Structures are given as C-alpha cells and as structure tokens.
Amino acid sequence: MPSPDDPLHALNQSLEDLITPEYWKSLCPNLTVSRSLPQTSTPLTEPPGNSIRDRVLRDGFTPLEGTTTPTTGVTPGTGLGAPIPWSINLAHLVTGIQTLAEHGWPAWYIAMYDETWLLGHEISDVVFRATGNLPSLDFLAWHVDPREGQTGFSPHRDRQPADPPSTFRADGTARYTTVWVALTDAVPQNSCLYVIPAPFDPFYIKGDDLSADANDPLSVLTPTARDYQHIRAVPLRAGAALLFTHRLVHWAGRGDSLHPTPRVSLAWVFTDPGYEPPCFGLENLPLPPVHLRAALACGQSVVYRKRFKTGEMAEPYAAKIRAEYQWAEWERKTEGAGGEAPAGTPTKQKPERAAGKGRKRSKAARRAAVETVVDEIISPHPVEGLETGLMGLMFGGDISDLSDLEV
Ligand SMILES: [Fe+2]
C-alpha cells in the first residue's frame, strides 16, 4: 500500500495534475486516457424477441441479458446475471479502482479512464431501446470489501420526485434508469444488490408518504413477516449488469468478513433529458475531454461525501461546503441567463446569499473564495482526494484555463 509520500498519491497532486492524462496513465498503465474510439468498441444490440424492455416495465429492474455483438454472438438469458460481451478487459478496471484507492482516490475517479466510458457507450443503444433514455452521465463506482466490514448503500429509491407519476411516460417507461455493472462477481457474501420488485411495491409509481414522521419506504413495504419474502437478492457474475428505475427500492447487503473478493462495480445513469438533463453535452461522448471527466469525478466527490463518509467532517464544515457547492452550481446554471435560476432548479439549490441580490463574482473573486475554503476549512480536515476535487468542481468550466492540455 503506497504511503502519502508516494509522488503519485492524491495528496501530492495539483489541479494541473488532475487534468493531465500522463498522471492518470502513470497511475494505471493498463488503462487508457484518449479520445480515440477503439474499433473493437461497438454498441451492443438486442436480438428480436428479447425482453429487456418488458422485464423492466413489469418489475422495475432486469439483468441485461441477451445482448449481442456482431463478433461474440448472443449471451443467453439465464436469469443468473450472465456476463455481457463487453469489448474491454474488466479486470483492468478492477485493478484500476484498487490502485486508485491505494493512492487516495475515491473509486469514481475511474471515470478518468476510457474504459469506463466505453462501458456506457457499448450499452447505450440497448438501454435506449428498452427505456427511451439517453446518457445523463451521472456516474458512480464502488469498491466494497466485506473483510473491512464495508457495505454498499442502505435501502433507498434513487429519486423521490414531487410528482412520481410524471416521471413515467404514457407507455409506462421510467424517465430515469441506472445500469449497474458488476466488475467482480457480486454475491450476498460481498454486498450484492437486493430489491423489492415493483409488483410488490404499491408506492412505486404513486409515490411515498414524505411527511416528516413517515417511515422509510422499505419499512412501509414490509409491515408483516410474509412481506420479507418479496425481497429479492440480485447476484451478478462479473461482467453482468442490472438495469433498474429510479423508483425501485434497492440496497446492498452486508457481506461475510471471510469472503475473499471485494465487490467492485460501477453505474451509469440514463435519463429523459426533459426530466433530468445530462451533466454536460452529449456531443462530448463517447470519450469526453479529460477536464470534463475530472469535473464529473470532482462533482461526485462532493455530492456523495456523506454516503461514503470519506472523512470526519464536522457539521459546520459540511454545511459550509454544501453552501459553497450550491452557490457554485447555481452560479454556473444562471451564467448568461440574466441571473434567473433556470426552470426546474429546486429552491433549496438556490443559496440564500446568491438569491435576491443578483450578486455575481468575478473569476478572481471566485478563485479567492475557493482558496479560502481550502485554506481555512479543508486543509485542517484533510479528506483524501476532496481538496483537489473541490477545486476542480468550483472552477467548473474554467478548469481548462489552467492548462492547454487536451487529449
Ligand atoms: Fe441507488
């Protein structure tokens, strides 16, 4: 395990390093950082008669089986989460995520590498035909080691919209779906996913009671002992994937501390842009420039910091970081829009100090504000990867100003 003294460790990298392909290549030599689509990477297809669409309509989820490529042929649907015929070497992604962790980077910095994006590229046509959804570019990756007592997320729905029925189309397809890819075998012993299938969930489309004193959705769905029989484990072989909607109750179980293999996985979100627009323009796909990959990974560092408990953050610190993040996000969205928050921006994302006064900061003032946050708050509370991540996020589109490097 490299120490923080290792020159490649996250704590020794600058913002410039974050957007320098050579740094990432030297960290994981088996992975690539380029903008050249390999000829071997072609979108998967689904043969006539396969039923991914029907299964996700019925249950709210389905293993992505029966996909095919011109060269590999059809993967039979066995109901056991058969591997998808990806063009890339998944073992290299697993090693990459482990290497990132050893150097202080959260697992989702695997988005710096082409192979992560190629997974999304190769499955996108199948997802579009099954759901009508396009890449939203919301992304996450996990390295869950049961020997360390680690687990994945607790029971939740990915979205709790104000009007849940409106997040489904007239034909029943969900306007938000996730593709969750197992990079190692995902089994109950290493925290595989569990779900409540939609037919056993009366609140799947209708929506939950979100009042302050309401129970969580899983408790509501399991009022009696017999209801626990609705819970379904979803083990997946390495290379298999699960497609599920934003309204499916799902979670990761607690594994066995004697199980030798971590559960390594990643997820790409696909949405109806009218419901949830992509994180950046789809014209940048399939292999976006490195500064956009970095900005996305940095954003996820902030968004998911509570879920992963990446550090011992005091609440005043967390609150200030949240406010800074919301302010930066609001400013980015309102730039060039006359200071008006765009339609659909949740009120809570419009921070108090930015609202009402129409105040805007210059680039220099913004930089100074971020540096203040880093100097006064983050540095005394070091969180692996977050300092660099936050810098990248706050500068957003300006990050490329700091380097001429483009790949
Ligand atoms: Fe989730």
pLDDT of residue 341: 44
Nearest residue to 127 via CA among 233, 286, 242, 276: 242
pLDDT of residue 83: 80
CA 265/CA 246 separation, integer angstroms: 18
Helices 363-373 + 386-395 axis angle, to 10: 160
Tens-place pLDDT, residues 95-150: 999 999 888 888 999 999 999 999 999 999 999 999 999 999 999 999 999 999 98
Q: Domain limits of the chain?
A: 10-311, 315-382
Contact 72, 52 (CB under 8 A): no
pLDDT of residue 402: 30
d(CA 401, ligand 1 centre) in Å? 34
Query: Does residue 373 register a pLDDT over 60?
Result: no
Which sign does the torsion angle of CA 187, 189, 190, 195 carry? Answer: positive
d(CA 180, ligand 1 centre) in Å? 9
CA 199/CA 186 separation, integer angstroms: 24
Q: Which fold has domain 10-311?
A: Jelly Rolls (2.60.120)
CA–CA distances in Å: residue 119 to residues 84, 170, 181, 186, 188: 10, 29, 9, 18, 24
d(CA 1, ligand 1 centre) in Å? 30
Which stretches of 185-313 are DSSP H helices?
217-221, 290-303, 305-308
CA 12/CA 121 separation, integer angstroms: 32
Provide the 3-class DSSP secondary structure of residue 356: coil
d(CA 201, ligand 1 centre) in Å? 16
Helices 114-131 + 52-59 axis angle, to 10: 80
Query: How remote is the C-alpha of 12 from its chain's centroid?
Result: 25
d(CA 33, ligand 1 centre) in Å? 28
Tens-place pLDDT, residues 319-370: 555 555 555 555 555 554 444 443 444 444 333 333 333 344 455 655 565 5
Give the alpha-carbon dihedral of 186, 65, 155, 329, to 10 degrees. Answer: 100
pTM of structure = 0.78
d(CA 194, ligand 1 centre) in Å? 11
d(CA 14, ligand 1 centre) in Å? 32
d(CA 51, ligand 1 centre) in Å? 23
CA 296/CA 163 separation, integer angstroms: 28
Tens-place pLDDT, residues 243-272: 999 999 999 999 999 999 999 999 999 999
